[in-house]
Chains A and B, each alone.
Chain A
Amino acid sequence: MDIVIRAVVMFVFVWFVTRVVGRRELSTLEPFDLILLIVLGDLIQQGVTQNDFSVTGAMLAGGTMALMTVLFSYLAFRFPRVQPILEGDPVILVERGETIDRNLRRNRITLEELAAQARMQQVAHIADIEWAVLETNGNISVIPKRS
């Protein structure tokens, strides 16, 4: 029973940490971020399974994590008001070529970062962006102006 409770607690903790850290930080998988994620996974695993090396324990912990994922996904789908809490919601960063500085600042996104994201989507200038939206997964969608 303990292992299921520990898995639920750690699932909620990881969700909390990812919501608090901010979506941009989690979507940019620089080498350092990648290593950090692996280390975090290892630390969490130890807290969940502790000295339990059994297949049953692994199935219980893995099953709990999977069910919690389904539960969070269902809650977000079934109750639209809960979705922004569980997953966040999209934030407009650029509107018709004009940056929305408040939203950039709140999400700790620099102009250089925004310009880099625009270039990756074949847009050379921020002024040529119709809409740039920070999505819930941390990616920035760029919709260029129609020429």
Chain B
Amino acid sequence: MADIPDQLTLNVSRDREGRRDVVVRRVGVAALGILLALGLLNLFGQRPSTTTAEGEAATLEVYAPERVRGGLFYEARFRIDARREVEEATLVLDPGWAEGITINTVEPGPIGEASRNGDLAFELGRIPAGQKHVFFLQLQVNPTNVGHRSQGVRLYDGDELLATIDRSITVFP
């Protein structure tokens, strides 16, 4: 009858005394499952959501993800429905829209772009009463941009504030 092979002991190698490898493995599999479930539930982005602000003169709607991951391409859509004529529609975005995010393109091209007290201002021009203006930003998250940033949006008619949306973005690594 052969002896037990070197370095093996019956109580550990056969009876697994003091070993919880199966439990640890099951917990690990459960942890992986939870991670995937959270991903499916959009915890890590990038499913877009809609935020709306109703103003007397116009309604402002933003359709964009609030959670994204490094390197992702995504789109932000801004829709303005004018109740009355907006002569000098201007969208003012928090710097968080461009901080660590590459703006690949802006469609339709605004009449003018400027900095308004550190914020990004896009002059969209005149929107007649009852008409809408849809404005797209095509964006890409820079991989090193991780964290939480404010992405507020304000709609002005010249210097008159018409609507405000407070939102933020979380960038996962």
Contacts and interface: CB of A to CB of B under 8 A. Distances in A.
Bind each other: yes
Interface of A: 2, 6, 16-17, 19-20, 22, 50-52, 84, 88-92, 95-96, 100, 102-103, 106, 130-131, 133, 141, 143, 145-146
Contacts of A96: 1
Contacts of A88: 21
B143 A143 contact: no
B2 A106 contact: no
Contacts of A17: 32
Range for the number of chain B residues in contact with chain A: 20 to 34
B2 A84 contact: no
Contacts of B128: none
Given A51-B71, A143-B5, A6 B13 contact: no
Centre residue among A2, A20, A141, A143 by max chain B CB count within 10 A: A20
Given A20-B28, A106-B22, A133 B71 contact: no
Q: Which 10 A-B pairs have the closest CB atoms?
A: A20-B28, A50-B143, A92-B14, A92-B13, A130-B2, A106-B22, A90-B13, A50-B71, A20-B25, A20-B29
A16 B30 CA distance: 12
Contacts of B10: 92
Contacts of A51: 71, 143
B4 interface: yes
The prevalent SS among residues of A at the interface is mixed
A88 B21 CA distance: 8
Contacts of B71: 50-51
B28 A131 contact: no
Contacts of B173: 6
Contacts, number: 56
A50 B4 CA distance: 50
B21 A50 contact: no
Nearest to A90: B13
B18 to A, nearest CB: 9
Name the residue among A16, A51, A145 with the largest chain B CB count within 10 angstroms. Answer: A51
Nearest to A6: B173
A100 B14 contact: yes
Contacts of B4: 131
